[in-house]
């Protein structure tokens, strides 16, 4: 039996995508070779990269003056690539709304005058700071935000108006809701949450901003070089890119981002409504900022949390343990989590409450 996998990442992929990948694992596009064996210079593979880019452009309505790149090293490597490509004046503002936002900020400090201009650490990251009150500095190269905070379960509803380019880590929500790419200078996202197996990272960058990487920027991290080489400067993570394309095709078939967003809102709504109507379970995120991708919750005490997790795993509801910084539970309900999975989780939560309240 296939489990309902609520892991925050790497996370569940659509079953039909996995089946297709299974088929192509032995013979890809009638080449007589596995998709994991063919050269990245093989036409059948370069077509995959091109299709991935064009599907992303279509689904996210990415304008032509933005580059769409498939790179390696995870979102964490982009924490460094951002200053290395953009920090010409040696100055950038960061909004710290969680653990990954903080890591990005710490990495920024290695390269220049990075400042934390707003933070929600005072309330253990359970909200997003008031965007109209953020004291952005003059003369920065960019402002960095993390749009969906995977560990704490918050997300931005609006994005701040900034004088300098807005850079967003969208790893845990890319392709889950409609965004206006024009509001951003750079968007990046590790693929292993909403798009593909681990190994590939998506970067969407306004071309006019990426022409002058810092002199110390490694060639592999230069977005300009990746753009000029169509993401094929070196051997790319072929299999992850290929699975990403299968996921993107499916997303298009389903009706695109608007359609998946509606399903995501519905799934998250079911779970939050259930938690809010229960005296047993709690989610302490300020309602307005609740993520529709990552839903942390607790029972009345840590022992019950442990029992909850053990019982859930027996029912095929797995990887529900909260991040070690938060404890309790976290249900990551990305695009590929079926509505049925969320309903099963709620069914189990009801039963557990009845048995333990
Ligand atoms: C998972 C995650 C990361 C880290 O991604 P890696 O690919 O493991 O480097 C960074 N930011 C956010 C928001 C994430 O959810």
pLDDT tens-place string over residues 58-71 = 999 999 999 999 99
For the stretch 4-60, pLDDT in tens is 999 999 999 999 999 999 999 999 989 999 999 999 999 999 999 999 999 999 999
pLDDT at 1 over 90: no
Up-side HSE of residue 166: CA atoms within 13 Å toward CB?
19
Region 85-113: what's the mean pLDDT?
98
**Ligand 1 neighbourhood includes 197 CB (under 6 angstroms):** no
Residue 164 has pLDDT above 90, yes or no: yes
**Best of 172, 174, 194, 296 for a ligand 1 pocket test (most atoms within 8 Å of beta carbon):** 172
Q: Which of 70, 71, 100 most suits a substitution to test ligand 1, by most atoms within 8 Å of the C-beta?
A: 100
CA of 110 to the centre of ligand 1 (A): 19
> What is the Cα–Cα distance from 241 to 52, expressed in whole angstroms?
8
User: Could you tell me if the CB of 171 is within 6 A of ligand 1?
Assistant: yes
CB 201 within 8 A of CB 172: no
The region, left, alpha or beta by phi > 0 then psi within -120 to 50, assigned to residue 356 is alpha
- Assess contact for 337 and 194: CB atoms under 8 A: no
Residue 182 has pLDDT above 90, yes or no: yes
Coil, strand or helix at 237: coil
Helix (H, G, I), strand (E, B) or coil at 155: strand
Separation in Å, CA 114 to CA 37, 83, 92, 102, 347: 43, 9, 5, 11, 46
Which residue(s) pair with 143 in the sheet? 93, 166
Mean pLDDT of the chain: 97
Token pair in block for residue 156:
């931005």
Spatial CB neighbours of 89, under 8 Å, sequence gap ≥ 6: 139, 140, 141
Closest CA to 335 of 266, 233, 241: 266
Distant-in-sequence, close-in-space partners of 151: CB < 8 Å, separation ≥ 6: 8, 98, 99, 100, 125, 294, 296, 323, 325, 326, 330
Longest dimension (CA), the chain: 62
**Strand 166-169 to strand 142-146: parallel, antiparallel, or no bridges (unpaired)?**
parallel
Do 30 and 43 meet the contact criterion of CB atoms below 8 Å apart?
A: no
Residue 225 has pLDDT above 90, yes or no: yes
| pLDDT value for 239 | 96
Q: 238-253 and 256-276 helices cross at what angle (nearest 10)?
A: 90
């Amino acid at each position: 039996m296939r489990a309902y996998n609520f892991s925050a990442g790497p996370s569940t992929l659509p079953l039909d995508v996995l089946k297709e990948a299974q088929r192509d694992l032995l013979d890809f596009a009638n080449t007589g070779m596995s998709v994991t064996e063919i050269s990245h210079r093989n036409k059948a593979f370069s077509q995959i990269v091109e299709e991935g880019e064009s599907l992303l452009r279509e689904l996210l309505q990415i304008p032509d003056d933005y580059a769409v790149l498939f790179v390696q090293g995870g979102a964490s490597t982009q924490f460094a690539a951002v200053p290395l490509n953009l920090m010409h004046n040696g100055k950038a503002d960061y909004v710290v709304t969680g653990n990954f936002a903080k890591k990005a900020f710490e990495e920024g400090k290695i390269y220049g005058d990075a400042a934390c201009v707003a933070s929600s650490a005072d309330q253990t990251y359970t909200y997003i700071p008031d965007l109209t009150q953020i004291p952005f500095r003059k003369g920065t190269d960019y402002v960095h935000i993390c749009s969906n905070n995977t560990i704490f379960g918050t997300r931005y509803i609006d994005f701040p108006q900034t004088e300098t380019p807005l850079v967003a880590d969208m790893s845990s929500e890319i392709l889950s809701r409609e965004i206006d790419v024009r509001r951003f200078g750079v968007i990046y996202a590790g693929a292993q949450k909403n798009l593909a197996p681990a190994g590939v990272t998506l970067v969407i960058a306004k071309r006019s901003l990426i022409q002058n990487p810092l002199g110390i920027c490694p060639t592999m991290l230069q977005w300009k070089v990746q753009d000029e080489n169509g993401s094929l400067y070196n051997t790319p993570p072929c299999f992850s890119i290929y699975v990403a394309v299968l996921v993107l095709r499916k997303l298009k078939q389903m009706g695109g981002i608007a359609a998946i967003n509606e399903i995501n809102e519905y799934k998250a709504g079911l779970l939050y409504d259930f938690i809010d109507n229960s005296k047993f379970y709690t989610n302490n995120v300020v309602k307005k900022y609740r993520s529709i991708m990552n839903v942390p919750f607790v029972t009345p005490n840590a022992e019950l949390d442990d029992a909850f997790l053990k019982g859930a795993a027996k029912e095929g509801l797995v990887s529900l343990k909260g991040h070690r910084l938060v404890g309790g539970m976290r249900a990551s309900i990305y695009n590929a989590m079926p509505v049925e999975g969320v309903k099963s989780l709620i069914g189990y939560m009801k039963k557990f409450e009845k048995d333990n309240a």
